[in-house]
């Protein structure tokens, strides 16, 4: 068996699953179908196939999330390629292919979105084995999902009906309902899953043939990379200059080397709340409920509760309750959720991008209460982590440690605080918070001042390289 090089694409922003998924912490980083996050589940699915470490292409903003989530499940140290801007899949896979070749070999790339559900991981791996000889021989293999319903939300791949890897006849756009039904009846049509298997060199050859501009941009972006530990920063200007295009448009629809392997692997792209309802375990009434949900006279509903959600007399409804936003949507109208996100973005509201609990490389903070002239945050600092040395012009801070150990720098003093101890940081004082212990540090911060925005911060030193 060949040693495939897994390439995990983590560039999505997942706004169709708002408010659980938000730009700063999207779908692939959430445990939407099981205890693992989607990214973690994607890696676990691939890991038995290969001794190679993952190669991840991710949004620069998500770099600490990718690194930490893979570390938490014991993945081998990943190479995490940071996209300075989203340019769709063709350029992303191109830089992954170039970097995969940089050790001098020409591995077979297994390209996978990191935010899909695959219920039958064994069948998935068997499919990769079955597709490998064709990929080694130079084909660009795509995995086509055998359709179970006349789905209008996906593109289709048409091929001669049959088993095993065979030639793609054509790629077709998302069909209307009648066409989708005809595809299902006729056979030989498969859902385009966005998963691929091909040699790095073959993808780059075909990309060079059809879109030399994208290949050139990818080469330029890789020519001046800036390694930063496990992160690999691309040349910002060069990558940004690439056209934004999908691998389907740029290569797969044009190349003579496109092959498809029809598969039954329990695939779902979880591209909407209704799709998540479909893949979730349902009770006898068709309800899939997470958290503290009381349902009376309710059917075929999905509910996600942080606090308590009570449903009364509703059918085919999606209810998603988070710390700072609640979505209530008809299951057949969930595609309109993006209109809500668009409106929030237009109004520059934080709920479009951030969760109330905001993740940082050192831990997280959660604004649990806000009032006139004050704000209360719950702050978590990871073992060994440290916030920047900083000061504020317009707010004082009271810190009460509720768990773990804090090392506090306050002007020229350095001291430790334990659970149930507190301190005070006056306006203007240079201060730093560190967790010198082996357990999570948790503290309550009460901010007091006439302006409490996150931008009132002067950073003097930051181990995470932030200005």
Chain contacts with a second copy (rule: CB under 8 A): 19, 294, 296-297, 305, 307-314, 317, 319, 321, 323-330, 332-334, 336-337, 339-340, 343-344, 351, 366, 368-369, 371-374, 376, 378, 396, 398, 400, 402-403, 419-420, 422, 424, 442, 444, 446, 448
Token pair belonging to 131: 């597709």
Decide whether 228 or 297 has the Cβ nearer to a second copy. Answer: 297
Query: CA-CA distance, 237 to 228, in Å (whole number)?
Result: 18
Q: Are 15 and 341 in contact (CB under 8 A)?
A: yes
Write down the least CB distance from residue 164 to a second copy, Å: 43
Q: What is the DSSP string of 49-92?
A: G-SSPPEEEEEGGGHHHHHHHHHHTTPPPPEEEEESS---HHHH
Token pair belonging to 159: 């091929």
Token pair belonging to 391: 């000061």
Write down the least CB distance from residue 356 to a second copy, Å: 9
Instruction: Give 170-176's long-range contacts (Cβ < 8 A, gap of 24+).
Output: 170/253, 171/248, 171/252, 171/253, 176/152
Smallest CA-to-CA distance from 93 within 235, 215, 182 is with 215
Write down the least CB distance from residue 37 to a second copy, Å: 23
Peptide bond into 210 cis (omega under 30): no
Decide whether 123 or 446 has the Cβ nearer to a second copy. Answer: 446
Q: Could you tell me which residues are beta bridge partners of residue 375?
A: 370, 447
Decide whether 10 or 298 has the Cβ nearer to a second copy. Answer: 298
Write down the least CB distance from residue 366 to a second copy, Å: 8
Decide whether 424 or 451 has the Cβ nearer to a second copy. Answer: 424
Write down the least CB distance from residue 328 to a second copy, Å: 5
Three-state SS string across 11-48, please? CCCCHHHCCCCECCECHHHCCCCCCCCHHHHHHHHHHH
Write down the least CB distance from residue 184 to a second copy, Å: 26
Token pair belonging to 379: 């702050």
Write down the least CB distance from residue 21 to a second copy, Å: 14
Token pair belonging to 402: 């509720």
Write down the least CB distance from residue 344 to a second copy, Å: 8
Decide whether 272 or 390 has the Cβ nearer to a second copy. Answer: 272
User: What does the buried/exposed string (b/e) look like for 187-210 if buried means 16 or more CB atoms within 10 Å of the residue's CB?
Assistant: ebbbbbbbbbbbbbbbbbbbbbeb
Decide whether 148 or 339 has the Cβ nearer to a second copy. Answer: 339
Decide whether 87 or 355 has the Cβ nearer to a second copy. Answer: 355
Decide whether 186 or 285 has the Cβ nearer to a second copy. Answer: 285
């Amino acid at each position: 068996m060949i040693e495939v090089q897994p390439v995990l694409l983590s560039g999505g922003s997942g706004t169709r699953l708002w408010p659980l998924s938000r730009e700063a912490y999207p779908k692939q980083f959430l445990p939407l179908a099981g205890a693992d996050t989607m990214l973690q589940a994607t890696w676990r699915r691939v890991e038995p196939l290969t001794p190679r470490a993952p190669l991840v292409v991710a949004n620069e903003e998500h770099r600490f999330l990718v690194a930490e989530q893979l570390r938490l499940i014991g993945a081998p140290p990943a190479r995490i390629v940071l996209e300075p801007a989203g340019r769709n899949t063709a350029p992303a896979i191109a830089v992954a292919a170039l970097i995969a070749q940089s050790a001098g070999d020409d591995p077979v790339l297994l390209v996978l979105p990191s935010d899909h559900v695959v219920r039958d991981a064994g069948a998935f791996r068997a499919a990769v084995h079955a597709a490998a000889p064709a990929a080694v021989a130079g084909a660009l293999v795509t995995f086509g999902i055998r359709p179970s319903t006349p789905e209008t939300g996906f593109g289709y791949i048409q091929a001669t009906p049959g088993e095993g890897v065979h030639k793609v006849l054509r790629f077709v756009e998302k069909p209307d309902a009648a066409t989708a039904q005809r595809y299902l009846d006729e056979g030989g049509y498969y859902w385009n899953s966005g998963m691929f298997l091909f040699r790095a060199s073959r993808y780059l050859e075909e990309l060079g043939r059809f879109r030399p501009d994208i290949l050139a941009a990818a080469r330029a972006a890789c020519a001046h990379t800036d390694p930063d530990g496990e992160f690999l920063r691309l040349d910002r200007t060069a990558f940004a200059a690439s056209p934004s295009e999908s691998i389907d448009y740029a290569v797969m629809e044009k190349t003579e080397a496109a092959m498809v392997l029809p598969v039954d692997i329990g695939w779902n792209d979880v591209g909407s709340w209704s799709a998540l309802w479909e893949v979730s375990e349902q009770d006898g009434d068709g309800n899939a409920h997470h958290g503290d949900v009381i349902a009376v006279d309710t059917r075929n509903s999905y509910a996600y509760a942080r606090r308590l959600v009570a449903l009364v007399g509703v059918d085919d409804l999606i209810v998603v309750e988070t710390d700072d936003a609640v979505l209530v949507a008809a299951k057949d109208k969930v595609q309109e959720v993006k209109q809500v996100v668009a409106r929030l973005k237009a109004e520059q509201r934080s709920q479009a991008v951030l969760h109330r609990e905001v993740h940082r490389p050192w831990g997280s903070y959660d604004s649990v209460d806000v009032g006139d002239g004050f704000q209360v945050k719950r702050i978590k600092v990871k073992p060994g982590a440290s916030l920047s040395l900083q000061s504020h012009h317009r707010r004082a801070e009271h810190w009460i440690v509720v768990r773990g150990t804090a090392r506090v720098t306050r002007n020229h003093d350095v001291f430790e605080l334990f659970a149930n101890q507190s301190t005070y940081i006056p306006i203007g004082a240079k201060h730093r918070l560190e967790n010198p212990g082996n357990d999570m540090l948790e503290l309550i911060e009460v901010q007091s001042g006439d302006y409490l925005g996150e931008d009132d911060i002067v950073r003097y030193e930051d181990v995470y390289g932030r200005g």
